[in-house]
Structure 1
């Protein structure tokens, strides 16, 4: 994967005659930086994340990586690109309530073709880093909301993604857990040259970010 994730002359709308979003937005998201996407409700913060994550296709303009257009790849290649290069964190941790949390963490790695033993070793390293390894064999209903969100961050990092996309990841957290999650994401961006992009209304997230893009 090339070094810079970009949007060029981006325009999007959900319906044929609906309102257009982004007004030809162009922006580079550089490795080693945590960027906060801000702006009023309805301006398209979450939508931009889904476009960057290749889950929505722009009406016009393009998503590029290292100067190569990736937003027009066929569905199968986009899915593979996401699995290999992108990690996702959402406001709701979205852990499978029926399974132990470690099974949710390793899921992206199994999808990408890892063997289970290697995936479990990687998951335990990440969960130890996030202070939740002791909860690996618990189900989501047996851990706190803050712990669940830290588990979700581990899942997002499983495949060593170059890009981490987070949609209001601190929205349901108290300040202490928000600090843990943001510190981890910022450290990963800085120390491992990852691109971290967070859609948020939270002033604490905005103040903790390296860059701010207001929509």
Structure 2
């Protein structure tokens, strides 16, 4: 049986998140829409800290699609080789840069449908860019949000798409812009997979998770 928090509980829970951090920020370093897009694409199966370390020097010399093309795939590899799957990711960075130049005049489009046509860019990456750069309340569901959504009753679903829809349908509109950031950070630092820190959890008053420590 799917357990879903009711509206009063959802409103109170997200109010608590907002009181703790009104403007949550993503942890990937970037300077513009393009560097954000690349950073998010590189973050698959990698930590934000690891991506930031790898892209610091890269983004100083290649912060536009054309500059990335001018740098070339081999140099991109040299910069990101500490990241998992770096060869395939470097290939995608060059391909998406070429498509941005050829199709979008070197600009990152503000449409999910357009973003997901870029090599190496899936729905989650597109949603992060839409939310963080274009301020569109898109919900990027990762493993943290999937776990928390089902564990807490905030946004239960059998897969990431269902959880994304549950956020859109059930989280009050005033919290939609920052919902996925609050949930990601909560999962990263409090609601851990193996040993959730229920004792210091700011939303434990409403969470449906029974195995509280």
TM-score, normalised by the number of residues in structure 2:
0.27
**Structure whose CA Rg is larger:** 2
Higher helix share: 2
Relative contact order, higher structure (CA 8 A, sep 6+): 1
TM-score, normalised by the number of residues in structure 1:
0.27
